[in-house]
Amino acid sequence: MSSTAAVNLHNPAVFQAGIPHEVFAEMRATPGLTWSPEHDGTRGFWSVTRYDDLVTVSRDMSTYSSGVGHIQIYDIDEDALEARASMIDMDPPVHTRLRRIISSAFTPRHVKKYKGAIQARVGACLDELEAAGGGNWVDVVAKPIPIGVICDLMGVPEQDHNYLIGLTDHLVAGTGAEPLEPTAYGNTTELRLLPFNSPAAWAMSQYATELADVRRAAPEDDLITKLIEAEIDGERLATEEFANFFRLMIFAGNETTRSSMAHLALYLEQFPDAFAAAQLDRSLIPALTDEVIRYSSAILYFRRTVTAPTELSGTALDVGDKVVMWYCSANFDEAYFPDPYAFRADRPTAPPHAAFGGGGAHFCLGASLARLEIAELISDVLNRDLSFASIGQPEFVESNFVNGIEHLEVTL
């Protein structure tokens, strides 16, 4: 493999115009894993691009660890790893105990209870867009819906939603080229100790800690209360553990669905046939929803670190090797998704796409919630027969970690 783009996947600029599909197609066609050499003093890494290999890595959590090393490509010190650790940075059985505190709120049966509230949020956003004759689809539709829904579940008051949107925007920007000032939000912590090396992570921890104090005094039926009251082996979560959990939930529940919803507007314009098919046959909406999720691949990758010598697809791996699972490649693996770049309302949903992960303990906790939010947005768009008179060029978030869109101007 000699493609310059392939070896430069650590560089957000490679993703500046969206997923570089031709680069990943070439990597998938090349036997073994692709090696990206050391850069900026950081150890090189192996790229996993095929669906089969990604599933293997995802499910073999003892060989491919989330708890050893960072889950992003860049390396961080041990104390920094510890300072930011949430369940996503852990392996079973600790991961399992933490996940179970809240996982019952995200089962399909529970998620259905949020349907009315989600419909109301979707309706209000589309009303606003229609009243204005258009606008930035990201700001008016894609951002407010998911943050509103996850904040409702967590128990974050409505008036603070925009503050949290702002913070997560900075966290994502932190994976790109231009970080915030180190002292932003009054931060005093060394940046290397903060998730995404961003002062916004510090601000979110502060916010979480204050809200936890409010709930300790007056418990509510929400996930914040569940988290502060939960006991693991007889002990409650420490302040930092709670704050890290909160940050994970807000980031994961917000940024990901937002990206898929942002791309949804592009797909409406690019693939009208798929939406026309669902307009005629509403039973296609679940499959169309998963197609939006597959095609947008909101999280581009997660990394694992090898804990024992092994071999994958003929490539020998050693202890400490970094293995990067490119979901945005596995989701277009020709072997599993025939005609992968076709956007279809009737694509079979089994085997499932890898946008919620390749299985194993870290399978996306919010999968059912994300599906419901996106399905409700599609339904309402179809109900209104929404179409765009014009749509601008998308401005992508400069990141090799999330497939975000910053700005997408539409007129109705």
Interface residues with other proteins (CB under 8 A) are 59, 96, 99-100, 103-104, 106-109, 349-352, 356-357, 359-361, 363-365, 367-368, 371
Question: Cβ of residue 150: shortest distance to other proteins, in angstroms?
Answer: 17
| Nearest CB to other proteins, comparing residues 331 and 368 | 368
Q: Report, in Å, the least distance between residue 350 CB and other proteins.
A: 4
Token readout for 107 is 């089962």
Tell the smallest beta-carbon distance from residue 102 to other proteins (Å).
Answer: 9
CB nearer other proteins, residue 123 or residue 352: 352
Given the complex with other proteins, which of 7 and 364 has the nearer CB atom?
364
Closer to other proteins by Cβ: residue 103 or 183: 103
Amino acid at position 100, single letter: R
Largest Cα separation within the chain, whole Å, is: 60
Residue 58: CB minimum distance to other proteins, A: 8
Least gap, CB of 291 to other proteins (angstroms): 15
Q: Could you tell me the smallest distance in angstroms from the CB atom of residue 363 to other proteins?
A: 4
CA distances in angstroms from 14 to 18, 41, 108, 174, 224, listed in the order given: 8, 19, 36, 16, 38
The pair of structure tokens assigned to 176 is 């790109």
Q: Which is nearer to other proteins, 10 or 371 (CB)?
A: 371
For other proteins, give the closer residue by CB, 247 or 371: 371
Q: Which is nearer to other proteins, 107 or 270 (CB)?
A: 107
| Backbone φ/ψ region at 302: left (φ over 0), alpha (ψ -120 to 50), beta | beta
Task: Report which DSSP code applies to 310.
Answer: E
Distance of alpha carbon 337 from the chain centroid:
21
Q: In the bound complex, what is the minimum distance in angstroms from residue 203's beta carbon to other proteins? A: 31
Strands (E), 64-110: 64-65
Residue owning tokens 């128990």: 155
Cα angle value 327/330/334 (rounded, 5°): 155
- Residue 224 burial by CB count (10 A; 0-12/13-18/19+): exposed, middle or buried? buried
SS3 361: coil
